[in-house]
């Protein structure tokens, strides 16, 4: 499968006439393929992008284009749709971001304040948990879980984690809302689940999609706060790896969703 990482955004550079330029960068995951093209702001449209995609592709267009920048997404989607290319919004465009950093292009994205989860998705209970690194894949990979995300590069063995390392996570007991919550999370594309302390009120914030942030839980209990701090400490020991598990109850018989997570800028 041919996958490209693509960015199309205002360049920090200008042409000789002082006009704003737009820069199109295309690469694959190893940067063995790179393509760059620049246009004036007046030419920055989906037709121009589609033309450049065809020029870059030669005989074979990519199957998937990955985009991390929300401001670029709609325009690239329009260009790709006309060419029959699927677009995947994802923060995990590592090669492309490395290239942008080398060019000293801005990478920072404006993130909205976290929003509460829709009320009809709230589970009945939640708790902190851990899994031995050796159990993460074996426990869930062969189970009939409707929503399962376990990327190869995040599997403990591929991160070089010792089998005895405790991978921290959050378990949500969703009750009757379990499947609905898991489906919503799948569509939201979870990335990381972080403990946030605001002084008066502590909570768990889910990073999802390209810039989305969701409040999963809030708490004032000092014991829960201590557990949350331990959760973050364990993430440091597991190279940031953690998990989110949604199940109807604590019987362990049925799982609705499981995601391996790690923060990415």
The band of 204, judged by pLDDT with boundaries at 50, 70 and 90, is very high
Confidence at residue 122, expressed as pLDDT on a 0 to 100 scale: 80
Mean pLDDT for the chain?
Answer: 92
The band of 206, judged by pLDDT with boundaries at 50, 70 and 90, is very high
Evaluated on CA atoms 82, 88, 89, 92, the torsion sign reads negative
* Distance in angstroms (rounded) separating the CA atoms of residues 11 and 41: 10
Q: DSSP 3-state assignment of 100?
A: helix
| Least confident interval from 63-67, 182-186, 230-234, 247-251 | 247-251
Query: Are the CB atoms for 260 and 241 separated by under 8 Å?
Result: yes
Please say if the pLDDT value at position 10 is more than 70: yes
The band of 243, judged by pLDDT with boundaries at 50, 70 and 90, is very high
* Full set of structural domains in the chain with CATH: 3-102 (3.30.420.10), 115-261 (no CATH)
Residue 116 β-bridge partners: 215
Percent of the residues in the chain that have a pLDDT greater than 90, as a whole number: 76
Mean pLDDT confidence for 60-83: 95
Q: DSSP 3-state assignment of 166?
A: strand
Confidence at residue 201, expressed as pLDDT on a 0 to 100 scale: 73
Confidence at residue 65, expressed as pLDDT on a 0 to 100 scale: 98
Alpha-carbon distances of 231 from 89, 151, 193, rounded to whole Å: 28, 22, 10
Mean pLDDT confidence for 91-117: 91
The two beta strands, 190-197 and 202-208, are antiparallel
pTM given for the model: 0.88
* Distance in angstroms (rounded) separating the CA atoms of residues 168 and 222: 19
Confidence at residue 17, expressed as pLDDT on a 0 to 100 scale: 74
Confidence at residue 19, expressed as pLDDT on a 0 to 100 scale: 82
* Distance in angstroms (rounded) separating the CA atoms of residues 257 and 245: 6
Confidence at residue 253, expressed as pLDDT on a 0 to 100 scale: 79
Confidence at residue 199, expressed as pLDDT on a 0 to 100 scale: 67
The band of 140, judged by pLDDT with boundaries at 50, 70 and 90, is confident
Mean pLDDT confidence for 150-170: 95
Q: Which two tokens stand for residue 31?
A: 């940067």
The band of 117, judged by pLDDT with boundaries at 50, 70 and 90, is confident
* Distance in angstroms (rounded) separating the CA atoms of residues 156 and 132: 10
The band of 200, judged by pLDDT with boundaries at 50, 70 and 90, is low
């Amino acid at each position: 499968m041919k996958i490209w990482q693509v960015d199309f955004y205002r360049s920090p550079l200008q042409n000789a006439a002082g006009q704003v330029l737009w820069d199109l960068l295309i690469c694959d995951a190893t940067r063995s393929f790179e393509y760059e093209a620049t246009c004036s702001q007046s030419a920055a449209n989906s037709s121009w992008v589609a033309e450049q995609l065809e020029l870059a592709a030669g005989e074979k267009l990519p199957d998937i284009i990955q985009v991390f920048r929300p401001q670029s997404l709609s325009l690239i989607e329009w260009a790709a749709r006309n060419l029959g290319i699927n677009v995947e919004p994802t923060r995990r465009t590592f090669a492309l971001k490395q290239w942008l950093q080398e060019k000293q292009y801005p990478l920072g994205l404006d993130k909205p304040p976290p929003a509460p989860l829709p009320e009809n998705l709230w589970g009945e209970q939640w708790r902190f948990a851990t899994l031995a690194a050796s159990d993460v894949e074996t426990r869930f990979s062969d189970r009939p879980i409707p929503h399962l995300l376990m990327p190869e590069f995040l599997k403990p063995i591929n991160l070089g984690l010792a089998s005895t390392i405790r991978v921290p996570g959050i378990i949500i007991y969703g009750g009757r809302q379990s499947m609905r919550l898991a489906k919503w999370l799948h569509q939201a594309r979870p990335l990381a689940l972080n403990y946030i302390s605001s002084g008066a009120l502590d909570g768990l914030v889910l990073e999802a999609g390209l810039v989305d942030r969701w409040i999963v839980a809030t708490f004032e209990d000092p014991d829960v706060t201590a557990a949350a701090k331990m959760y973050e400490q364990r993430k440091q020991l597991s190279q940031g790896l953690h998990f989110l598990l949604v199940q109807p109850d604590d019987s362990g018989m049925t799982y609705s969703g499981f995601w391996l997570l790690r923060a990415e800028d």
